[in-house]
Each structure stands twice: as C-alpha cells, then as structure tokens.
Structure 1
Amino acid sequence: MFLEDILDSGPVGVDTERGSGAFEKVVLSVQGMTCSGCEKKLIKAFRRIPTIRNEKTSQVLARAEYEIDISVISIDESISQLKRVTSYSFEQLADDIGQALEILSGHPDALMKVGQCPGVQLVDRPDNNNPQLLRIYYNAAEVGARDLLEHRLADIKPRLAPPQAHPSLIAGKKQVRRDGGLFFISAFLTLPVLVFSWAPIPHKGSVVYQVVSLVAASLIQVGVAFEFYPSAFKSLFRSRVIEMDLLIVLSTTAAYAFSVTAFAFMVSGNALETGTFFETSTLLATLILLGRFISELARQKATESISIRSLQTQTAILIDNGNRNVIRVVDARLLQFGDTFRVMPHSSVVTDGIVVYGGSEVNESMVTGEPIPVAKAKDSHVLAGSMNGTGNLDVKLVNLPGQNTISAIADMVDAAELTKPRSQAIADTVAGYFVPVIVAITLIVFVTWVLVGILIQHISHKSAAVNALTYAIATLIISCPCAIGLAVPMVVVIAGGVAAKYGVVFKSPQTIEIARKTTDVVFDKTGTLTQGRMSVVRQFYLGFEKSMTEGFLLGMTQDAKHPVSIAIAEALAASGVKPNRLDSIDVIPGCGIEGRVQDSQIRAGNARWLHVETNTHVQAMLREGLTTFCVEYDQYLVAIFGLRDTIRPEAPRVVRELKERGIMVHILSGDDDIAVRHTATVLNIDSENVVAGAGPADKQAYVRSLTEKKPGSTVIFCGDGTNDAVALAQATLGIHINSGSATEVAKSAADVVLVRPDLQGVITAIDISRSAFRRILFNFGWSAVYNVFAILLAAGAFVAAFDKARIRPEFAGLGEIASVLPVIVIAFTMKYFNYGR
C-alpha cells in the first residue's frame, strides 16, 4: 500500500525504451520563448527538420522535447537548425540514462579516469566555461556515489559540485536575469532622454540635448531592442508566423525612425511642428522590456512555488551499518544502496526507505496531502519529503534521492505539463490570428486619423500624419496576445503542482479539463472501496489431505499480489505451512490462480469461476457477507476459505459527497454477489448500480455501457489491480489508487494516480478540475476585455467624448504588464484553497 507499488523503486540504468531504430530522445531548455506564437514558431521549426517526431513544448517550463533519428541527422545539427530558424537559445539537458553526479576536479586526466571507472556509463562536461566540472552518469546497482568519490576516484581529488536546481528552473532563472538586465540597461539610457524632454531645463530643445537623446535612443534601438528583429523576421519569412515581436519591431522602429527624421529636419533648419520625440521610442522599448521582465519573473515564481522538487533535503545523517552510534553528515547526493540514514525529530525524510529502528509520527501532507500524521515503527515505509515528529527514525534506503517519491511525482507532473490540453488549441488559434488582425486595425487607425486631421480638424498633411502615427503606434503595442497564450498553460502548471501536493497526479492536462464534468464514478471493491487487507475468518477442507492442499496453495499464492491471495498466504504461513513447488503457475485476472503438478491441475479462486457457488458451505459463508476463496484439485473441491475485508474509513464520506453533487456512484467487482451487495448497503449505494462477479471484460463492457447510455457523460473508474486495467482504459477518466494490490499495469492504464490509498483523492481531482476551469474562463474573459478596451483607448475611440482619453504611445509598453499579471495572479491563487476537504 505504499508508493513503491506504483513507482519504479529500483535503480535506473540505460534507457532501452527510447524508440525504435536509431531514434534518440532530446530534452532542451529554451530561452526566448515568451508567448504562444513563440511555441508555434518552434513547432514549425521542428517540422522542417527530417525524422523529428513526438515533439512537445512548454512555454511556462521553458522546455522542449523531441525524438530524432540520429542515423539521418545528428542532435547537434538539429539544434543548430532550430537556432537558425527561431533565434532562440537552446541548452541540451541530459535525458536520464542513469544516476547523475556532478564533480569538480582539476586533475588533467580526470575525464579519462572517470570514464574508465567500473559502473560509469557516460561522462560529459556540461559547462564549457568550467573545464573542471564533470557530470557522471553511473549505474547505481554497480557502484555507489560515495564509493566513486571517496575510493575509486580518490587519486584525482574530486569534490562535489555545488547543488543545482532542476534544469527547467535554472533555465527560467537565466531568462529572468537576461530580461532584467536588458530592462535596466534600457532604463539607464532612457533616463537622460526623459529629463531632456520633460524636465523644466533651459534650452532643452538645443542641438546638444537632442544629440544626446539621439545617441541614447540609437543605443537602445540597436543594442537592446534589436534582439526583437531577428526573431520577428525569422518568424515571418521562415516559419510564416506573425508574432508579438513583429508588433514590437514595427512600433519601436516607427517611433525611432520618425524621431531621427524630425532631428534631421531640425538640424537642417526646417524643424517640424511636432519636434522630435525620442522619449517615445526609448520609453516604449523600456516599458516593453519591463513588462517582459515582470511577466517572466512572475511565471518563474509561480512555477517554483508549486515545484515538488523543493521538498528534497540536501543533507543526510549516515549511520555506520556496523555501529548505529557512529554517524556522519553527508551530502544527500552521496547516498547509495545499502545505506542506513537517521531522521532526527522535526526534520525532513531525505529519501524513501524502510524504518529499521525507532518510532515516531510522520506528517506526509507535503507529499500526499493527508494532514493527519502517520505512525511509523520498525518495517514501516517512509516517503521522501515527509516531516518527522518527535522520535528518532533509522531508515534503510530504498530509493536514491534522484529517483525517489519526490522525483517520480515531479517527473509525472512535468510530463503532463508538456502535453497540450484541448482548450490550449483554442487559445493558440486565437493568438495565431491576433497579430495579423492588430496590424490591419493599426493601418485602419492610421488612415482614419489622417483623414480626421485633414478633413475635420483642418490641420496640415504633415501634422495629420504625425498625429495619426502616434495613435497607430499606441494601437500596435498596447494589444497583447501573451495573456491569451498564457490563459491555459499557466493554470495547468499551477493546477498540476497543487494536485501533486495533495497526492493526486494528473498524467495529462486533458484530465484536468474533463474531471469537472464527472457524471458517474465506478468503484472497484476489493482494494479500492475496501482496504485490501483481507483476513481469513473461516476454513473448511473436504476429503483431501489437508497438509498437501495447504502446501500447494501456499506455493501458488505466496508471490501473488491480489489481496485475497496475500491473505491466504499469510494465514497459511502463520500456521507453519511449508510451500510445495508447482511445475507452473498462471494468474487469471478476475478469476484466480491456476497451477500444475505433473499431470494434476490445481485451481484456486472465486466460487463463480469454479462453478461451486451452490455448495452448502460456500452459501453459508456468503450469507455471512464473507468473500469466498475455493480450491479444486483435478476438478474436485478440496477447500473453502471465507475472508473479510474492511471498508476504507473515508469511503462512506466520499460516496455521500459524490451523491450530494448529483454524481451517480457504482460498484463493479469480481467478488461474490452477497459480499458486494453487503458493501453497497453499508455505503448506501443503489442496488441497480451494483455488479458482482465481473471479470475484466465485464468491467469494460459496463463502463462502456454507461458512456453510451448517456451521451456526453463523463465516467470515472477507480481501481487498483491488473483486472481493472481495461476498465481504467475504457473510462473517460481512469483513476488508479495506490492500494496493497496496486500494479504497474493498472497504473499505466490510468489517467490519474492517487499517491496514497485515500478515496478522498477522487473528490480532490474533481475540485481541482473545477477550480482550474473557472480560472481558465476568467483568463480568457480578461484577455478579451483587456484587448478590446485597450485597443479602443489607444486608437482614440473615446477622444471625442472625453478629452485626452487615450493612451500615449510612450506608455503603451505597459500593456503587457496590465494584461499578463492578472492571468498569472489568478492562476497562482489556486495554491491558497483547500480541495476535496
């Protein structure tokens, strides 16, 4: 019933599932991808490169992934092509091929010596500016990090490199620093221009002041804002995408070019009526960069705030396996298989393990969402990131820090965030048309104001054109498609992170979208509605040697994962029974176990499968509400067991809450009819929604019938075992609960994983989905209202009714802040609500 049942607990070696043929997976951090148009450009760039497949991008995570056939084009060549087409900066992140360790060593032969060390799979230099830094990928099953550093590589005097944040967070910080640097440079150059233009200083129209303004404006246009030009024109001519950068280029260039022209007229003695306005181009560029900087900073902070990787502890107290009183503090990265570490009172558990000494209560809410501390004693499992109570715990390591509960959940969340939800397609479509429409509107605004100036205001053609240009520039830059592009992914990232901290892992954004529409929830019984910890309360043997029956039965069930088999095996082992060896054993999902000994066949499972449900002893046990487990030897019934399970304590509350929301609740089980209906009665589930004796195909058919019976219905199936896999796949939304019988087959078929065995996670998933959907709607609404009103205001639509009711072009750069920040803030508020409680 622990997380190891649903996550890989062993060390990770070379990835053998990278695809067919010579395909390799490439993971990149991307700098410069600031809007949905940027993502669209990157996707188009991917499609221009031969053999690329399974491409995924995330603007919020600043990350891209794809697979490429390296027999046709190398990874470096593909990255170079992407750079040429997009002008983005790319950094390749190593896909996990083993446990990674970064060291520093100035030894000239360090790279060669590390590469020759047994267990090391790959060594590279991740930073060209630091030749001492080496990243080692090693097989943790063959060699440990501490053995590598302290023994096998001792002659090159290696040191651990300073710990680094996750690559996606590092890439985000780089983008924030870059945007911040550009803004401060631009602001420094803009300040004197504003002083010369607005301050009450004598002779501020002199040529000297104007020359200084020209130099500052030119430095901003060429040195700072020039970065928008390659991106805009490559998007336009190579990817056929008109994006936000093009609006910035057009507006700042128009303002700068007009100012230079006005300066030339002034120097020649034919000054224009309007004079120069270098403050427009400089302040416009500065405010645009400020908007980018604040938006990127807010996105980064929002992403960091829900990053479950932040729960990872950096140090560990290592215990000498020969003497538990001998301890030392080590970097958590140096833990290796076979280690035992100590968890002190009120400290965090460094990684997953099993308690070997001590006792305490551990708060696992930061990983599972369950606020009640869980008692831990010898042989209890503890999860990385959980908080110890008042006792000491000595823990045997199960998973290394880079592959523990925290890492596994975070990887699943990241994988989900790289997938696009359906609503994102709407946002991308709108954003795709947005910029061309704005360019068209800008031309209309310019022409309209030229005509107004000449025909209505009766000013000169030159003055009319200058006035029209200020309206056009403001219209061009005040609009912002970034809010539309972020409306969905920002909410999805926050929702996925919040759900993970409640112990609910959405495998894709689509599941976040559709859970809110749930009409029916179908529960498996054993291990789902019940705790799956069954106990044998009745035994009956019929005319066959009891010891032989028990020996063969223990041999069949001792390695099985189904809760009934586990209970039988535990009961037999506790009675001192020794297992007999069988020639073959086959598990029949939903039915039982089948084994052979020489020419004899032994079958053990439910009474319906063995066609003995009418047996007197079976009927007596069923009337008691027991689950029956029958044993046949060569088609002769030789033993009957009666087992009882316990309903999960939260199950009545969850069923009641679902029914109060108008959601139909069903039970679908392979157990005996009387036992299933007894559970349904206790939970107050309608008898017409109860199906017993259901095998995998029956479960699939029942779920399919619900979806077909009510068009548009959203059916959740919640189960845990292998026999639930087809129903999990068939349901609109499959939820896998981490019970004692949980299997990898069921987990892989599900859309949502409940990290801990708590049905409250079903309510949590629905609540988070509803909350996310409301915020997505708000974001779309805000984006529409902002852009319509801002464009009308910038275009001068209200000038006739309200004097000076317009946005000057130099202040239009604030548009990105005004449009994007509410989208980020409203998504960020998801952190401060309780879900499913």
Structure 2
Amino acid sequence: MIFPEGGGRESHRKEEIKQYYRSFLWSLVFTVPVFLIAMIFMYIPGIKHALDTKLVNMLSIGAILRWVLSTPVQFIVGRRFYTGSYKALRHGSANMDVLIALGTNAAYFYSVYSVLRAASSTDFESTDFFETSSMLISFILLGKYLEVLAKGKTSDAIAKLMNLTPGTAILLTLDDEGNVISEEEIDSRLIQRNDVIKIVPGAKAASDGFVIWGQSHVNESMITGEARPVAKRKGDTVIGGTVNENGVLHIKATRVGSESALSQIVRLVESAQMAKAPVQKFADRISKYFVPLVIILSISTWLAWFLAGKFHGYPDSWIPKSMDSFQLALQFGISVMVIACPCALGLATPTAVMVGTGVGASQGILIKGGQALESAHKVNCLVFDKTGTLTIGKPVVVNTRLLKNMVLRDFYELIAAAEVNSEHPLAKAIVEYAKKFREDEENPMWPEAQDFQSITGHGVKAIVRNKEVIVGNKSLMLEHNIPISIDAEEMLAETEGMAQTGILVSIDREVTGVLAISDPLKPGAHEVISILKSMKVRSIMVTGDNSGTANSIAKEVGIETVIAEAKPEQKAEKVKELQAAGYIVAMVGDGINDSPALVAADVGMAIGAGTDIAIEAADIVLMKSNLEDVITAIDLSRKTFSRIRLNYIWALGYNLLGIPIAGGVLFPGTGFRLPPWIAGAAMAASSVSVVVCSLLLKNYRRPKMLEHLDIGGIKIE
C-alpha cells in the first residue's frame, strides 16, 4: 500500500475494536450468570433453596458459583486494567486503570474474605460483591468498545483519502518524437518519476504530474473540496487521486508514492489528529491530580460511613438486610472510585479535534493540528496579502508605454530574458505577454541573462545582451539612483489610479518604459471582507505592491488599513505589532515572501495554489484557494471549540454531580444509593456521550452567510 503509516494505524484501530469486542463478549459469558444468581434466581423459590444449600459451615453453593464465575472476569478478562495500572504507576502517575483496578479488587477481595470466613464459621452469613466486580468490568469494557468504535469514525476522512489512489495505471512508452509506441497496465505503486501515464475518462490519476497531451475536465473535489470540474490542457498540473471526467490525458509523473500531494495530505491530517491542542493541557493537569484526589475521596467516603456505622451515627434501619455497616461503607467507597474516573475529561479534546480536522479536510481546509484549531477560534484580525490572495494571482499585462524609441519586440525580449528567471506572478505575466511577439515559437528561447539578481518585493536585475536591465517598482529605481522622468511618474500615477500595478523598466540606467499590469480581484472578495466585519474580525492588507494599486484594491474590497511596498520582514514585523496591540492575528498569503509573516502570525493560512514554502509555513492550508474558506476555517474552529467546552462542561459537571450521589449524599433522606456496577455503567455512558457529542460535528455546515455568496456567477452551496 502507498501509505504504510496510515494503513498500519487503520489495522491497529480495527484490531483494538476486535479486542474490546472479544473481551466484552467473554466478560458477558461469565457476568450474566453471576448477575442472574445474585439478582434474579434469589427470588425464585426452588432455585433459591438450591443456591442457599450449605456446603461447608455457612458457605453456600450460590457463593461458590459467584466466586468461580467472577474470577476469570477479574483476572483474565480484566487483565488489561492491571497492565495499564502497572505502566501508569511505574511512570509515577495514576490513571483510569488504577481506579478500576482498585475498585474491582476492593469488591472482589472483600468478597473472597467474606466467603472464606463463612466457610470457617458456623454463625457468619457471607455477603459478597462478586457481581459488582464482574459487572463493573463488563460495563467498562462495553463503554471502551463503544468509545473505540466511535473514535474510529472520527478518522473517516483519512480512510476516504487513502482509498483515492487507483490500484493500477496505464504506462505509456513514447519514442523520441513523443509518439506512443506501447501501453501497459501496471500496479500504481510501480510508477516512477517522469513516467508517462494515460488517464482515460472516468479513471483516477495514479500520481501527481502535468499534462503533456490531451484536454479534459478533472474533478478535484475529493482533494480540494471544489465541486466544479477543472479544465486541464497541456502544461496543467494534475493531482493524484482526482477523477478524469471526459477527454483522454497523457500526464508525466512528477511526484510519486510518499511525495505525492495526496500522501502529504494524509500525513498532514494524521499528524493533525494526533497533535494535542493547548486546551488539552488543562485536562491533563486535572487528570494528574484528579486520580489521587478520587482515591482519597473514596477512602474518606468509606471511612466516614464505616465510623458512622461503628459508633451508631445513623439508625440501624438504614442498613439493608443483606449487608452490615462495613459492607454498606465499602459499597459507597467503591462507587465513588468508579464514577469519578476522568476518562470523559481525557476524551473531550482529542475526539473533537479529530472530527474537526477531518471535517476541515473534507471541505478542502487542511488544519495542521489542535494548536492551529485552537488559535483560529480566537482570531480577531486578518492580515491579507494582495497578489494571489485577494486577487486571482494571475496578473496580465494590459498596457505598455515606451519612453524611448525602441521596437516593442526587442523591448520585451530584454525584459523577458531577465524576468524568466523569477518566480513572481508579475514576472510570469510579463514573460507570458512577451510570448505574443514570438508566436511562431511555442516555447521561445530568450537571450541569456547574466548576473541575474532577484530583489524580493521589488523586482529583478540582470545583464542581457551587454545591457543592464532593471525591472521593478519605483523603490528599486530610486535604490539604484535611476532618475524617474515626469512622464514616467504620471504614467505610474495613472495606472495606480486604475488599480493596476505600474512596473518601471530601466535599460542601461535609463527608464525606458512603463508596464501596466492588472490582477483581477477574486470573485466574492468584497463580500468576504464584509462578512468578516460582521464576525467582528478586522481586515488589513499588507503587500509588496505600490501604495496606489494597494489602496485601489483595498477600497474595492472594503479594507481600510493598508501597508504597501512591504518587504517580507516588514510583513512579519506588522504582524508582531498587531499581536503586541492585543490582536490574535491570522495571516493569509500564498508566496515565498509571505512565509515569515505566516510563521509569525498566531495562525498562518496559505492559499492552496500558492508555493510549497508558503504551504509548509502555514498552520491552515486552503486547498480550493477560495477566500470564503477563510471564513469557513474560523467558523469551523469556533464550532469545534464550543463542542470542546460542551464536552468539558459535561465531563466535569457529571463528576461534580455524580461523586456526591455515589458517596451517599441522598441516602439519609431518600434511601437511594448507587451500587458500584451502576456507577460503572454511568461512567462508561459519560465517556461514550462525550465521543458522540464530538461526532455530531460531522454534521457541520458552512455559515449561512456564505450560502448567498456568488462566486463567479455560481451560487456557493
């Protein structure tokens, strides 16, 4: 299998479910007869007489049967609790297993003492708790079985992702001219980098790659959450696991096996589900002190009731006929120990985080663990990059003005030669536009650029055909002491006024031309900013672009605070300033130059179409590259944490209410007492209810505000 770590975890989970199921069934085999003998048959005259028949002195057949049947439950079926207790105590801590082992052993060994005393006495009537210890173990195993069964459902997102990769692929063999010589069906695990794979309509892509032949539409919803099929033609990338809808595609494999996007997503979701949220430290701290406190409470409860009975602190009529004051006190003590198990508290956070991250993955929002999830729900300030985040990120050259007499083809040849080495979206737009002057060539060869230098956030510099070519913003020209003419200044002001980016071109230290580049706003950007305002989240734009363009874009989307011409380190500094002012800051970006700010922010959100470095630096990856997913991410995190709070209220409230009742607070006035086996059932029910409460997050729906949002003329549902 391609994902051994995921597969191993899945098989381990299935084995764990089987083990608990088998243990529970074996416990039932012995516990049901114990329950029947102790609770039912004692009221059926003929059977009661047989069970009460004495074997040795006061030792009855019923007591022997209960002892024999409960012993395998205590020591064989319940062995896991002894093992868990030993491991915990060896590490200097006490956990739920310690409480269960103490509670069941107290009931079991008191019962053994009672039976042995009856066997050696002619006047001591034994009263045992064998049914208590065996029923307690059975209910706890049932609770554990239901718990691991429910917890397994929280990992459905991973299971679905892992099943996306097809088992086989069609491998093509090409000749030197790119013609298909042969095709062969192979196991998809055997695909190597640079292999050419054929994807027929309806088939899944067996690896990541790019199209070298063919046109089609590909359904990427299982990876990105985007419902609309994406058009693919020569040069476009294809993600492994996505479904080819209509035409035939030939793709060249680029990332295979554990390097593939799908494999990385699986690892990311897995590590996110395993990572602890800071809020869980609260539960861990409580659990650390809670177990010793419960043991003290339990012993104190037993001692208080025992002393009260010894010194006639309550009427003898309170003691049930079937027991004495010591046994009544012991029952209260065991009930307190069992009902107070903090396992529901320990499940409150991890189950909700697992479901929350799984739901996020299914919506195309990859959340890297509990830390990111917790921070996102507190966010009250969003810092947006402009290019590729608020805008589509595929800018186009819309105007060119030459300030010197020069052939436009030659002008663009020099610029393209310098910019082809840059990864910046504006550089790509210029090179793409320059290709129009070389339409006769599909992939034109540009003149060689020497001494190439990329000045992050400003532009590029190179020597092309013995000419010094500098392409960039106004700041870059001023840094190199290149004079900017009045005409160039006016052209810049005009382009910026139209929300376009003005790029200056200097050839041999003289401004030769001005390029106007437009990067259209993402559909729905204005509505997203408006919704964020209604959610009491402040929006700020920080961009390396010039102030004119930045302000025009900000005005269009409704952002009031703008920091323009910011270098990468200045973006990070701005984030830190906002944090110092008391804001919980999320940074939304897509480029390498956003990485420092993404790391500095409380929550870094990377646009999925951005660079690998930005995605690596971010805490949350928005796979669909849609701005509205910023709102979904914050809303999902808020919903998850409200569920965690609800789990804590339930778990703590249950203990605060259950412990006094188990300790006998209601007994003096009402005669109501909580037998240990019922306390065990209640404790198991508490754990299961917390897990079920977390599982209800699976019904999460995006905020209603987004239902009416039109993205590119298509209503988002």
TM normalised by structure 2 equals 0.87
What's the offset of the Cα at 1:496?
A: 1.4
Q: Is the 8 A contact 2:606 2:618 kept in 1?
A: yes
Distance, in Å, in 1 between the alignment partners of 2:686 and 2:432 is 62
Could you give the per-residue CA deviations for residues 421-463 of structure 1, whole angstroms, max 9, x where no partner exists?
2211111011111111111111121122213334112379981
**2:50 match: secondary structure:** coil
1:467 aligned to 322, 328, 340, which one?
328
1:204 aligned to 12, 26, 51, which one?
51
What's the offset of the Cα at 1:354?
A: 3.1
What's the offset of the Cα at 1:724?
A: 1.9
Q: Is the 8 A contact 1:474 1:795 kept in 2?
A: yes
Q: Which residue of 2 aligns with 1:177?
A: 18
Distance, in Å, in 1 between the alignment partners of 2:201 and 2:172 is 19
1:326-345 mapped onto 2 (5 Å cutoff): 329-345=185-201
Q: Is the 8 A contact 2:376 2:634 kept in 1?
A: yes
**1:641 match: secondary structure:** strand
1:499 aligned to 356, 360, 369, which one?
360
Matched, 1:726 2:579: no
Q: Which residue of 2 aligns with 1:750?
A: 618
Matched, 1:673 2:559: no
Q: Is the 8 A contact 1:553 1:579 kept in 2?
A: no
1:109-148 mapped onto 2 (5 Å cutoff): none
Could you give the per-residue CA deviations for residues 112-168 of structure 1, whole angstroms, max 9, x where no partner exists?
xxxxxxxxxxxxxxxxxxxxxxxxxxxxxxxxxxxxxxxxxxxxxxxxxxx996222
What's the offset of the Cα at 1:248?
A: 1.1
Unaligned runs of 5+ in 2: 54-59, 439-443, 479-483, 707-717
Matched, 1:232 2:85: yes
Distance, in Å, in 1 between the alignment partners of 2:450 and 2:410 is 15
2:374 aligned to 503, 513, 516, which one?
513
Distance, in Å, in 2 between the alignment partners of 1:553 and 1:392 is 37
> Structure 1 613/589 Cα, relative in aligned 2: closer, same or farther at 3 Å?
farther
> Structure 1 387/830 Cα, relative in aligned 2: closer, same or farther at 3 Å?
farther
Bigger radius of gyration: 2
> Structure 1 195/458 Cα, relative in aligned 2: closer, same or farther at 3 Å?
closer
Deviates more, 1:485-494 or 1:224-233: 224-233
1:531 maps to a residue whose letter is I
2:316 maps to a residue whose letter is H
Deviates more, 1:373-382 or 1:174-183: 373-382
What's the offset of the Cα at 1:285?
A: 1.8
Unaligned runs of 5+ in 1: 1-99, 103-162
Q: Is the 8 A contact 1:308 1:500 kept in 2?
A: no
**1:649 match: secondary structure:** coil
Distance, in Å, in 2 between the alignment partners of 1:101 and 1:508 is 23
How large is the RMSD of aligned CA atoms in angstroms? Answer: 2.8
Distance, in Å, in 1 between the alignment partners of 2:445 and 2:118 is 104
> Structure 1 795/722 Cα, relative in aligned 2: closer, same or farther at 3 Å?
same
Q: Is the 8 A contact 2:399 2:515 kept in 1?
A: yes
Q: Which residue of 1 aligns with 2:575?
A: 703
Q: Is the 8 A contact 2:598 2:618 kept in 1?
A: yes
> Structure 1 219/700 Cα, relative in aligned 2: closer, same or farther at 3 Å?
closer
Q: Which residue of 2 aligns with 1:445?
A: 301
1:265 aligned to 94, 101, 117, which one?
117
Aligned length: 670
TM normalised by structure 1 equals 0.75
Deviates more, 1:563-572 or 1:401-410: 401-410
Q: Which residue of 1 aligns with 2:607?
A: 737
2:294 maps to a residue whose letter is I
Q: Which residue of 2 aligns with 1:422?
A: 278
Could you give the per-residue CA deviations for residues 279-322 of structure 1, whole angstroms, max 9, x where no partner exists?
22222222222222221222122223554534423423415435
Distance, in Å, in 2 between the alignment partners of 1:556 and 1:501 is 42
Could you give the per-residue CA deviations for residues 471-512 of structure 1, whole angstroms, max 9, x where no partner exists?
111111122211111111111111112112222222242221
Distance, in Å, in 2 between the alignment partners of 1:347 and 1:598 is 49
Distance, in Å, in 2 between the alignment partners of 1:495 and 1:644 is 38
Q: Which residue of 2 aligns with 1:364?
A: 220
> Structure 1 727/188 Cα, relative in aligned 2: closer, same or farther at 3 Å?
same
Q: Is the 8 A contact 1:332 1:401 kept in 2?
A: no
1:241 aligned to 84, 89, 93, which one?
93
Q: Is the 8 A contact 1:317 1:327 kept in 2?
A: no
Deviates more, 1:396-405 or 1:816-825: 396-405
What's the offset of the Cα at 1:746?
A: 2.7
Deviates more, 1:562-571 or 1:218-227: 218-227
1:776 aligned to 621, 644, 665, which one?
644
2:52 maps to a residue whose letter is G
What's the offset of the Cα at 1:375?
A: 3.1
1:215 aligned to 68, 86, 96, which one?
68
What's the offset of the Cα at 1:643?
A: 1.1
State percent identity of aligned pairs: 30
1:253-652 mapped onto 2 (5 Å cutoff): 253-270=105-122, 272-305=124-157, 307-321=159-173, 329-346=185-202, 348-389=204-245, 392-454=248-310, 455=312, 456-458=314-316, 463-543=324-404, 546=407, 549-576=411-438, 578-596=445-463, 601-611=468-478, 612=484, 614=486, 615=488, 616-652=490-526
What's the offset of the Cα at 1:394?
A: 4.6
2:616 maps to a residue whose letter is S
Q: Which residue of 1 aligns with 2:675?
A: 808
**2:470 match: secondary structure:** strand
Distance, in Å, in 2 between the alignment partners of 1:519 and 1:308 is 33
> Structure 1 271/530 Cα, relative in aligned 2: closer, same or farther at 3 Å?
farther
**2:193 match: secondary structure:** coil
Could you give the per-residue CA deviations for residues 47-95 of structure 1, whole angstroms, max 9, x where no partner exists?
xxxxxxxxxxxxxxxxxxxxxxxxxxxxxxxxxxxxxxxxxxxxxxxxx
